[in-house]
Chains A and B, each alone.
Chain A
């Protein structure tokens, strides 16, 4: 379970998050929607521990642990996975080496045995197959020269291997084409279970046709201004953010 309590955060002198309260029970998928500049990306970065964001007040508990005190790698080990809006290219780093290093780092921290090269390849190939990816993915450098859709697939491959308890999907500006939309939603839906939850951050309702949320929150001006069932997304689509905030 993820509990965000009165979270305030800023970049430099600029306060972006102004008291966020949000609970995502285990097994549920919640969507966060909101207009540009509402603080959606900031929220995803604060949750995953990126430098440059200062939390000035509040706490974030994941399964009862205040994750704001954890390094990004320890949050990953605790089960939090951030799917990047723009996955980073790593020239000179082979994808197979990257995936195996990440998987074993997380397994080590979770007290699970590390996978040798053979066992790793076996599980990587299985994940690749279920994501309908080409095996040459493993031989390429991480995200280098990947198309937008391939980068998203690679994110979903990492997610499938790392088996997070909570996935945060940052699709803020939603430059996703139909193909990428399908990849991301299939990746998330494949993991849906009573022990998995997801926070889907998006600007448009489109993604939520594919990943149907249990709850939709509207983030505006650094606060959650409304929460409701999935139909709230449709209302947003019809009336715009201004209309919903006023309601």
Chain B
């Protein structure tokens, strides 16, 4: 197996995979059946690294899984390629609006095991798709999926992920997207679960007027570690990218945001924006933020910002003075803090799933 990345690599400075390295993985156990959310549209379900035909329904535009050839620089992608035996291969023809698709990845077992899925999503010119991805599980496992996305001219992919892995799980997610002229990739990840997780995005804006929104909300507590790393490469002029990451960190949780905007020579009129806001609910929570700009064009607009703060005592007192108990007042202020990150999730079903998951964040011990 290809070796795991170490903290000696700049891209892995804040996320330490040694705890993952110490695990020894056994056979992938027989798949258990996950609870599925009420969702009217088509769905595809993966359990312990394999697609479940029985649980999937009305899946259009899907193709058979083909063996993986990996040429990318990321070692996790090579490990994935060595192990992956299944994944979603979806190709939406040009001009087709495929609506919303629910993808569930569920992993559960008694003994540690690893699941490596390789998803490939291609949208033809002007095609549309909303992919709602639900990631969850039980027990100790390593979930290391890779998703390769290709959007042709004018296509729009809305990708909403809800990561609710088991509290003992490791999740390393790699998403790579090539966006052609006039196409848009709108991504939102809610990171709630896993002992350690990293969502790493590499988005290349390859044609004029291509755009991407990479938004995330991280809600972490206990000793959870959550890393959101996004690299946007502006390879063509007149492209726009937005990265907004909101982190709420309790107890001894550790959040990471690494955002990089690369502007190639000739990518004039690039509009790049990065914002990281973190709310620390305890003195022992930590947030590491590393914004990077790498600009080789001379007529661009790129900005970045970061804030780290605690709940506002004045606001808390105001709510309490109106009869609202402290825990509820805190929850209201945290919801309000996250509101901006959720705003892009306009689909009702997806919004409902997120709100429910976040509601549970408060009530589950």
Contact = CB atoms under 8 A, between A and B. Distances in A.
A105 B332 CA distance: 13
Nearest to A158: B322
A86 B314 CA distance: 11
Nearest to B329: A73
A72 B329 CA distance: 12
Interface in B305-344: 313-315, 317-326, 328-329, 332-333, 335-340
Contacts of B319: 90, 98, 102
A73 B315 contact: no
Given A92-B336, A92-B337, A105 B325 contact: yes
Given A93-B332, A93-B333, A101-B332, A88 B322 contact: no
Contact of A76 (B314, B323, B326, B328): B323
Contacts of B326: 71, 73
Interface stretch (A43-51, A125-133, A173-181): A43-51
A106 interface: yes
State the majority secondary structure of interface residues on B: helix
Contacts, number: 74
Nearest to A73: B320
A109 interface: yes
How large, as a class, is the contact surface on chain B?
20 to 34
Contact of A102 (B314, B322, B336): B322
> Which residue, of B315, B318, B326, has the highest number of chain A Cβ atoms within 10 A?
B318
Nearest to B324: A105
B295 to A, nearest CB: 32
B332 A82 contact: no
How large, as a class, is the contact surface on chain A?
20 to 34
A82 B321 contact: yes
A145 interface: no
A77 interface: yes
A138 B145 CA distance: 45
Given A92-B335, A93-B336, A101-B332, A50 B317 contact: yes
Contacts of B338: 92
A1 B328 CA distance: 30
A75 B338 CA distance: 29
Interface in A50-94: 50-51, 71-73, 75-77, 81-82, 84, 87-88, 90-93
A162 interface: yes
Contacts of A73: 320-326, 329
Given A49-B321, A71-B320, A93-B333, 18 more contacts: A72-B320, A72-B321, A73-B324, A76-B323, A81-B321, A84-B321, A87-B318, A88-B317, A90-B319, A92-B336, A92-B338, A93-B332, A98-B319, A98-B322, A101-B332, A102-B323, A106-B322, A162-B322
24 contacts: A51-B317, A73-B320, A73-B321, A73-B322, A73-B325, A73-B329, A75-B321, A76-B321, A76-B323, A82-B321, A87-B318, A88-B315, A88-B317, A92-B335, A92-B340, A93-B335, A97-B332, A98-B319, A98-B322, A101-B332, A105-B323, A105-B324, A105-B328, A106-B322
Interface of B: 313-315, 317-326, 328-329, 332-333, 335-340
